[in-house]
């Protein structure tokens, strides 16, 4: 079942992952500037 | 037919997301072998060195006798969980000073030998034998600092306690993350951090200046707790006979036209009112034309080795003035 879905929608998969990757790269460069937010920490 | 369509839709939603999370996580981990992200390092700090404290007024403390490489430098904790040498509780002849503070006092992003704590200890020791015990822990506010002194610092019977105050010391005691497991994912940490930065970029209301100033608004609970903790510390000084001093560390974004002069004045005014000597370092940094040259990295405004040297230089005489009262 999963195999057939992957085969049927493989280009959809590639396309959507590519969009996610493009958003990540945009976010990386667009926010890659001097720190503008307060110090914040994950406690655990 | 309808059921099959539902399965296909679910697949088209879940499968790309799962694949992206997997590939993104792998790619980011490879990238981070040669690059450092401040927020990822802070997340690693929490996972590697912070543990819950049973005392809710402390919240978290360092895992004792542990080591992690964070922000490109080694942070090693002693048996008490301090980033310091092991000191015997029993005193010798040397003058003993306890430093209280947060990540700036801890020396986040700089080697131990480059921290103002280490430089001051060496400089003070050259004048008169001196031991400095560093109780700095990342993300601490004044309440946590004073309670850590009560729990782990007073046994060292200090002649002097110096609290290094930073503008965010009036924050409430930080709460544990609701999703602690997510900190293990570099990709999730990256998105959390960058979306926060994006919001700050698009709106002034979530930037650091507004955020820090708001901590000192009329009626602010965090600032009230901070004032109360400072008063408690002054009372402890009288009770235990140690000399108490406070150093206000500058926020390193805008130094020529310092945006937190009003907030520093409020802290100074309170300390003057309870008879605690205070040194505000912000004016000493006024002529620094390039604040970024004092940062650990472009995405991390903690003081770097040069800034630590300057802090040590400007603070030395203030700390050396007096011993046990």
SS (H, E, C) B104-167: HHHCCCCCHHHCHHHHHHHHHHHHCCEEEEECCCCCCCHHHHHHHHHHHHHHHCCCEEEEEECH
pLDDT score of A2: 81
CA B173 remoteness from chain centre: 13
pLDDT of residue B158: 97
Residue B324's pLDDT is 43
What is the predicted pLDDT for the residue at B227?
A: 97
Mean per-residue pLDDT over chain B, rounded: 93
The minimal CB distance from A28 to the residues B194, B206, B212 is found for B194
- How much is the pLDDT for A44? 44
pLDDT of residue A3: 86
Over residues B149-161, the mean pLDDT reads: 97
Closest CA to B141 of B98, B102, B104, B106: B102
- For chain B positions 24-43, those within 8 Å of chain A (CB to CB) are 24, 38, 42-43
Query: Residue B115 pLDDT > 60, yes or no?
Result: yes
Sign of torsion over alpha carbons B179, B181, B182, B184: positive
Q: Which residues contact A42 (CB under 8 A, 6 or more apart)?
A: B42, B43, B46, B177, B183, B189
pLDDT at B180 > cutoff 80: no
Residues B104 and B164 sit within 8 Å (Cβ to Cβ): yes
> What local confidence, expressed as pLDDT, does residue B207 receive?
73
Q: B168 and chain A: CB distance < 8 Å anywhere?
A: yes
Q: Tell me which residue in A5, A36, A38 faces B212 most closely, judged by beta carbons.
A: A38
Which of B20, B167, B294, B302 has the most A C-beta neighbours within 10 Å, making it the best mutation to test the interface with A? B20
Cβ contacts of B50 on chain A, cutoff 8 Å: 43-44
B102 and B140 Cβ atoms separated by less than 8 Å: yes
The yes-or-no verdict on residue B118 having pLDDT over 80 is yes
Beta strand B160-165 pairing with B95-100: parallel
**What per-residue confidence (pLDDT) applies to A32?**
75
Query: Which of B35-44, B104-113, B267-276 is least confident?
Result: B35-44
pLDDT at B274 over 80: yes
> Where residue B287 falls among pLDDT bands split at 50, 70, 90?
very high
Mean of pLDDT values over B271-287: 97
This model of the complex carries an ipTM of 0.84
Instruction: Give the largest CA-CA distance in chain A.
Output: 49
With bands split at pLDDT 50, 70 and 90, how would you rate the model's confidence at B261? Answer: very high
pLDDT score, position B166: 97
Residue A41: predicted pLDDT? 52
Q: Tell me the two tokens of residue B242.
A: 């140690």
Share of chain B above pLDDT 70, in %: 98
Whether B198 and chain A come into contact, CB under 8 Å, resolves to: yes
Binary contact (A38, B208; C-beta < 8 A): yes
Q: The pTM is what?
A: 0.91
Mean pLDDT of the residues in chain A: 82
Whether pLDDT at B85 is above 70:
yes
Task: Check if the beta carbon of residue B125 is closer than 8 Å to that of residue B152.
Answer: no
């Amino acid at each position: 079942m999963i195999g057939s879905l992957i085969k049927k929608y493989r280009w959809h998969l590639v396309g959507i992952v590519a969009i996610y990757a493009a958003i990540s790269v945009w976010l990386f460069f667009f926010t890659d500037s001097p720190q503008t937010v307060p110090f914040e920490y994950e406690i655990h | 037919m309808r059921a099959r369509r539902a399965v296909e839709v679910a697949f088209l939603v879940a499968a790309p997301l799962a694949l992206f999370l997997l590939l993104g996580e792998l790619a980011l981990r490879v990238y981070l072998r040669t690059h450092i992200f401040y927020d990822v390092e802070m997340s690693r700090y929490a996972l590697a060195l912070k543990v819950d404290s049973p005392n809710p007024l402390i919240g978290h403390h360092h895992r004792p006798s542990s080591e992690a490489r964070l922000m490109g430098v080694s942070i090693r904790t002693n048996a008490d969980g301090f980033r310091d040498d092991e000191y015997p509780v029993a005193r010798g002849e040397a003058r003993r000073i306890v430093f209280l503070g947060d990540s700036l006092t801890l020396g986040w992003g700089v080697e131990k030998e480059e921290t103002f704590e280490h430089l001051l200890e060496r400089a003070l020791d050259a004048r008169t034998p001196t031991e400095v015990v560093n109780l700095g822990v990342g993300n601490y506010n004044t309440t946590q600092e004073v309670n850590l002194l009560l729990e782990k610092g007073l046994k060292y019977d200090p002649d002097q306690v110096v609290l290094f105050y930073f503008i965010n010391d009036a924050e409430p005691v930080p709460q544990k993350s609701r999703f602690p497991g997510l900190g293990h994912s570099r990709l999730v940490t990256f998105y959390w951090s960058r979306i926060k930065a994006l919001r700050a970029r698009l709106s002034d209301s979530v930037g650091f200046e507004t955020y820090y100033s708001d901590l000192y608004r009329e009626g602010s609970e965090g600032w009230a707790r901070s004032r109360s903790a400072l008063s408690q510390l002054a009372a402890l000084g009288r009770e235990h006979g140690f000399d108490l001093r406070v150093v206000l560390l500058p926020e390193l974004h805008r130094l020529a036209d310092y945006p937190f002069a009003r907030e520093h004045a409020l802290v100074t005014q309170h300390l003057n009112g309870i008879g605690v000597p205070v040194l505000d370092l912000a004016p000493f940094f006024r002529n620094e034309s390039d604040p970024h040259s004092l940062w650990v990295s472009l995405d991390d405004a903690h003081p770097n080795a040069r800034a630590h040297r300057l802090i040590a230089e400007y603070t030395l005489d203030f700390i050396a003035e007096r011993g046990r009262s």
